[in-house]
Amino acid sequence: MALEPRSERQRVAIDEVETYGAHNYSPLPVVVASAEGTRVTDLDGNHYIDCLSAYSAVNFGHGHPALVAAAQAQLGKVTLTSRAFYSEPFGPFVKALAEMCGKDMVLPMNTGVEAVETAIKTARKWGYESKGVPEGRAKIIVMEGNFHGRTTTVISFSNDEDARKSFAPYTPGFVHVPFGDADAIEAAIDDDTVAVLFEPIQGEAGVIVPPEGFLTKVREITARRGVLMIADEIQAGLGRAGSTFACDREGVEPDVYVLGKALGGGIMPLSAVVANREILGLFQPGQHGSTFGGNPLACAIGSAVVELLSTGEMQERSRVLGERFRAGLQPLLDAGWATAIRQAGLWLGVDVNPDLGTAKEICYRLMVKEVLAKDTHGHTIRFAPPLVITEAEVDEVIAHTLAAFEEAAAHKGVVRADVEPEIDG
């Protein structure tokens, strides 16, 4: 199926990107020119419902008024000082975020993978200086199917060959166990283990939700065995999974939160590691940092994000509308067009029946119907609309999704499983 742009104007814009930009992404052929709330608009004026939210970075919608106001107010003051000096917005931000997380301290960075790298350094430092692990022997347990970013260290413990191939040698110190298997985590812990690092819900893998009780068991095991529980909530947190943090789904509090994406409100890159003083307090001047980490503009926006989450409205919208979305897609399973649907808040992974084609082909059909979603691993479509989406918009996305699957089935000649075949004579 040829994935063609909807106009010559967009083709020209795409050709420029493909000519001068490195080919490290494979986007759908749509060129976004503006956005507001749940909608984006392409160069030709076509409007689309955004069902990706920039991988959860735009949880609160494009241009949320409170976040834009915070950014505009700070733009007129100061945007960057580096951490060589104190800045006015820094203290209020780290205080608000620490209190929201129920922790003592915050170490802000920029991108999600920077926060993951910071968490790795934090765990190793804690292991050597507090737990007494011999220097150079620290191990971190990670999950199969994980996605924590694409730096050299992080891809060293990825199972994704697209991310790993041709980038060796890899960084040692990581032990893989199956995601969702608490017993395997316990078996893998030894005297040199300093942390268990995991996503409470694996987003890039296809919105993989672990078995009920997994988070509770991991919390009990790590506490008992004296290792840090590090939750990468970069995509799953800040309202996406129907609660402030995905760990809240089981009432679990990790030792370390890793946050990003929505923390910057879709306006600035902003990430953070949040933990108690006995963990983050081990860092001394010169041991870690970032020129842009904790910059005044990002901090002002981050404080506004924490304020948005303080009412619980976004989390409740995610929970209720996510259930509505999931129920509306049930016909895909009934018809046999989808083989599985996983949902946590306003975050859904839909596995496409391979007889209908690839997930990207379905995403293209959705694009033509003016819904933007993202495929992953060939067969899964991820839906993650902004949490400000309305019931009517959810229903609109459902209708377009059912129609896109039906068209794909008709094109491939796939018979609906929920329809009795006609018997001649």
Helix (H/G/I), strand (E/B), else coil: 398: helix
Residue 2 lies in a domain: no
User: Is position 424 within any domain?
Assistant: no
Does residue 31 lie within any of the structural domains? yes
Instruction: Answer yes or no: do 85 and 37 share one domain.
Output: no
pLDDT, tens only, 56-92: 999 999 999 999 999 999 999 999 999 999 999 999 9
Task: Read off the pLDDT of each residue in 207-225 and give the average, rounded to a whole number.
Answer: 98
Token pair 């059909």: residue: 365
Q: Would you say residue 328 lies in a domain?
A: no
User: Are residue 20 and residue 70 in the same domain, yes or no?
Assistant: no
Mark whether 126 and 224 lie in a shared domain.
Answer: yes
134 with 149, same domain: the answer is: yes
Express each pLDDT in 92-141 by its tens digit: 999 999 999 999 999 999 999 999 999 999 999 999 999 999 999 999 99
pLDDT number for residue 418: 84
- Structure-block tokens of residue 79: 């945007």
425 pLDDT band (50/70/90 cuts)?
very low
Count how many domains the chain has. 2
CA distance 259 to 113: 10
Specify the pLDDT at position 1: 73
Query: Does the structure show a pLDDT above 90 at 424?
Result: no
Same structural domain for residues 116 and 213? yes
| Same domain for 244 and 350 | no
Residue 319 in any domain: the answer is no
pLDDT confidence band for 421 (50 / 70 / 90): low
Amino acid symbol at 111: T
Taking only the tens place, the pLDDT of each residue in 153-186 is 999 999 999 999 999 999 999 999 999 999 999 9
Q: Are residues 208 and 347 located together in one domain of the fold? A: no
DSSP annotation of 131? I
DSSP 157-169: T---HHHHTT-PS
Mention every residue, 6+ apart, whose C-beta is less than 8 A from residue 140.
120, 123, 124, 157, 173, 174, 175, 193, 194, 195, 196, 197
26 and 114, same structural domain? no
Q: Residue 395 is part of a domain; what is its CATH number?
A: 3.90.1150.10
Which of 46, 50, 69, 71 lies closest to 61 in space, CA to CA? 50
* The amino acid at 93: F
* Mean pLDDT computed over every residue of the chain: 97
Residue 374 lies in a domain: yes
Task: Give the Cα separation of 228 and 226 in Å (integer).
Answer: 7
**Is residue 83 located within the same domain as residue 134?**
yes
Percent of the chain with pLDDT over 90: 97
DSSP code string of 353-383: PGGG--HHHHHHHHHHTTEE-EEETTTEEEE
Phi and psi angles of residue 182, each rounded to the nearest 5 degrees, phi first: -65, -35
Q: At what angle do helices 296-309 and 90-101 cross, to 10 degrees?
A: 30
Positions annotated as catalytic residues are: 147, 232, 261
Whether 322 is in a domain gets the answer no
Residue 80 is assigned to a structural domain of this protein: yes
Q: Are residues 74 and 40 in the same domain?
A: no
The label of the residue with tokens 């860092």 reads 283
| 257 and 181 within one domain | yes
For residue 35, the enclosing domain spans: 8-62+333-412
The per-type count for the chain, helices as H runs and strands as E runs, is: 15, 15
**Residue 237: pLDDT band by 50, 70, 90 thresholds?**
very high
Residues 264, 356 within the same domain:
no
From 274, 309, 344, the end of a domain falls on 309
Contacts of 357 (CB under 8 A, 6+ apart): 1, 408, 411, 412
Beta-bridge partners for 50? 372
pLDDT band at 2 (very low <50, low <70, confident <90, very high): confident
* Beta strand segments in 29-138, E: 32-36, 39-42, 47-50, 105-109
- pLDDT class for 277, splitting at 50, 70, 90? very high
pLDDT at 420: 62
The CATH number of whichever domain residue 84 belongs to comes to: 3.40.640.10
Whether the per-residue pLDDT at 265 is higher than 90: the answer is yes
